[in-house]
Amino acid sequence: MTFDNGPLRALVQRYDLSGPRYTSYPTVPAWTTDFGESDYQSALNRFSEAPEPLSLYVHIPFCNSRCYYCGCNVVIKRHDPALGTPYLDALAQEITGVTQHLPAKPLVHQFHIGGGTPNYLEDDQTRRLFQMFHDRFEFAETAEISIEVDPRYLTREMLLTLKELGVNRISMGIQDFDPTVQKSVNRVQSVESVTEVMNWSQELQIGSINMDLIYGLPFQTAETMQRTIDQVIQLRPDRIAFYSYAHIPGQISHQKILDAYPMAEGEEKLNLFLNGRSQLIEAGYQAIAMDHFALPTDELAQAFNARKLYRNFMGYTTQPAFQYLGFGVSAIGNIAGTFVQNIKEIAPYIDSVSQGRLPVTRGILLTPDDAIRQWVIGQLMCHFEVDKAVFEHKFILSFDHYFEDEFKHLQPFIDDGLIQNKTATLLVQESGRWFVRNIAMVFDAYLAKQPQQFSRTV
């Protein structure tokens, strides 16, 4: 595949670097352990002075087995209901600890249960989890309540429980349907079992269904990828997240297992994405921002078209989610101008909350410059465009003047035809979309000080 502005290969060679995925700015490596419990408390107090609707995230880290590509914070143990109880006890303590700094029953418009595998919990444990949050927060009638599930362990009874609890969005991990790929990454699941889960979800009218796919996994070829995408199209989820495999074996040691297998890189890897993208668009999906797809009837497509798409740790969302609280191990919050992350390991997390402490491990208080760059990077990642007039109105600053230095670094992208610097906007071109992470990196003030610790941008 070639673009008007030159062969794809040359662009990939130039721009396939290590770089952040910008689910936050400043990115996690810029946060510091100097930010502690008292900083989080101050942020909660500041929030309470002028409360806004909240988004909540809770992390359930347990999984039955390890998928070798996985970069999430997980605890692997073959199904053991006894694991859930002490963890839920600790979550209850954390919820009490956090909400004592907030006004009574703050309003929630988004609740996301992520993992790990939240459906690792028994049904009565899931009911308890919901009750703990309902006791301390007021859920809006229209609240978006979403959960990540592993379809290999989802039963119809569990889905029924989730429906009763008000869940209206389900995201399930698929990754790939090819048996060789699945075996290599230690995640075997059949199309038939996923079809069954889809049938139950439709029968129970759960709401919007998302499927996660990954390109760049071992043994994936143009042919296997095409088959997987065809199978996913047949299942017709409302949304599809088509992620680039983030391979960082230096930081995630179990990923080293996959180094023994052939994996597409560079141009070959990008072509897996571009071919899959064409298939999905042909099948009626709309491409949303960097790596998401949605049926035109889905809210995500509508939000993208109305320029009301946002980005956070869960990827793209229709909710502004400027005020976010995270609960559980490794959970991240974004509240009153700060990012805050919890302790990652279970034992010290339980220890911390049982002493009545807020289990903070690190965070950052955003400076005015951070907030400006955060907005610009968010616009690029969500809309491939920065409207200079909106910037000027929002920050009372001239975009061209404020980013005078950055424009020097943008020149190669302009020369390569990947972006256009117009009087009114900075516009990422169609061919520049695959390199939007590289373009965002120009606006990242911390990158030069960070050793290479991110996945490849292609």
Ligand X SMILES: C[S@@+](CC[C@H](N)C(=O)[O-])C[C@H]1O[C@@H](n2cnc3c(N)ncnc32)[C@H](O)[C@@H]1O
Shorter beta-carbon distance to ligand SF4: residue 188 or 281: 188
Shorter beta-carbon distance to ligand SF4: residue 115 or 378: 115
CB of 322 to ligand SF4, least distance (A): 27
CB of 72 to ligand SF4, least distance (A): 4
Question: What is residue 333's DSSP assignment?
Answer: E
72 binds ligand SF4 (CB under 6 A): yes
CB of 172 to ligand X, least distance (A): 6
Question: What is residue 153's DSSP assignment?
Answer: G
CB of 66 to ligand SF4, least distance (A): 5
Position with the least CB separation from ligand X: 173
Compute, in degrees rounded to 10, the torsion defined by CA atoms 222, 265, 241, 285: -40
67 binds ligand SF4 (CB under 6 A): yes
What single-letter amino acid sits at 205? Q
Stretches 66-74, 234-242, 283-291, 293-301: which one binds ligand SF4 (CB under 6 A)?
66-74
- For residue 179, give Cα distances in angstroms to 19, 185, 228: 31, 10, 10
173 binds ligand SF4 (CB under 6 A): yes
- Measured distance CA(22)–CA(444) in Å, rounded: 10
- For residue 153, give Cα distances in angstroms to 95, 123, 310, 332: 28, 12, 30, 26
Shorter beta-carbon distance to ligand X: residue 29 or 71: 71
Give the angle subtended at the CA of 327 by the CAs of 173 and 452, to the nearest 5°. Answer: 65
Quick check: 125 and 82 in contact, CB under 8 A? no
CB of 104 to ligand X, least distance (A): 32
CB of 62 to ligand SF4, least distance (A): 8
- Measured distance CA(396)–CA(400) in Å, rounded: 12
Binding mask 294-313 for ligand SF4 (x = CB under 6 A): --------------------
Name the β-bridge partners of 210: 171, 239
Among 150, 291, 299, 370, binds ligand SF4 (CB under 6 A): 150
Give the angle subtended at the CA of 285 by the CAs of 202 and 438, to the nearest 5°. Answer: 125
66 binds, among ligand X, ligand SF4, none (CB under 5 to 8 A by kind): ligand SF4
Residues that bind ligand SF4 (CB under 6 A): 63, 66-67, 70, 72, 74, 115-117, 150, 173
